[in-house]
Amino acid sequence: MISFNYETTFSLDNEEQLSEWISSVISEEKCQLEEINYIFCDDEYLHKLNVQFLNHDTLTDIISFDYSIGKNIQGDIYISVDRVADNAKDFNVSVLEELMRVMVHGVLHYCGYKDKSVTEAKLMRDKENHYLKQLA
């Protein structure tokens, strides 16, 4: 099950389509969807979580709490729509495209992908691009 929660005035108008897309990503990665909660918020909300749980006093676009066990995917993905909008400007892409990238990025972490090294980051970006094309 995928749920979408809002701690800001932002909301998605295509939740069903996005839920099907994320489910197909998980399936294609040979994992099993248990439960993912997307929580859309603003910078202030996510900054508080970043300080409280990760000891990072910085702004970020996404924080995910992974409760997966093996290939059974479950977790909470917090996304700052403020940060996504700023990043979209910086990367010269639409806010929607950047939002979709961040959403699938969190799920790919749950599926076992990392992005700490240059090689890992390239593979993660390739996977993101692959799945973003499925939405087009």
Binding site residue list for Zn(2+): 105, 109, 115
- The 3-class secondary structure across the chain, one letter per residue, is CEEEEECCCCCCCCHHHHHHHHHHHHHHCCCEEEEEEEEEECHHHHHHHHHHHHCCCCCCCEEEEECCECCEEEEEEEEEHHHHHHHHHHHCCCHHHHHHHHHHHHHHHHCCCCCCCHHHHHHHHHHHHHHHHHHC
Q: Residue 47 in contact with residue 59, Cβ under 8 Å? A: yes
Residue type, 86: D
What residues form the annotated binding site?
Answer: 105, 109, 115
Q: How far is CA 10 from the centre of its chain?
A: 16
Both structure tokens of 96: 């929607």
